[in-house]
Amino acid sequence: MAKRFASTDEPNKQRINDQIRISPVRVIGAEGNQLGVIPTAEAMEIARQAGLDLVEVAPTSDPPVCRIMDFGKYKYQQKKRMSKGHAHQTRTKEIRVRPKTGEHDINVKVNRARGFLEHKDKVVITVMFRGRELAHIEEGHRVLNEIIEQLADVGKLEAPPNKHGRRIVCTMGPK
Residue 109 CA to residue 9 CA, distance in Å, equals: 50
Q: What are the boundaries of each domain within the chain?
A: 17-82, 92-174
Please give the average per-residue pLDDT across 19-29, as a whole number.
86
Looking at the chain, the whole-number percentage of residues with pLDDT higher than 90 is 48
Q: What is the pLDDT of residue 2?
A: 43
Return the minimum-mean-pLDDT range out of 14-23, 45-54, 103-112, 160-169.
14-23
Q: For the whole model, what pTM was predicted?
A: 0.54
Mean pLDDT value across the chain: 87
Homologous superfamily assigned to 17-82? Translation initiation factor 3 (IF-3), N-terminal domain (3.10.20.80)
Q: Tell me, which fold does domain 92-174 have in CATH?
A: Translation Initiation Factor IF3 (3.30.110)
Which residues partner with 16 through β-bridges? Answer: 55
Indicate the burial class of 162 (C-beta count within 10 angstroms; 0-12, 13-18, 19 or more).
exposed
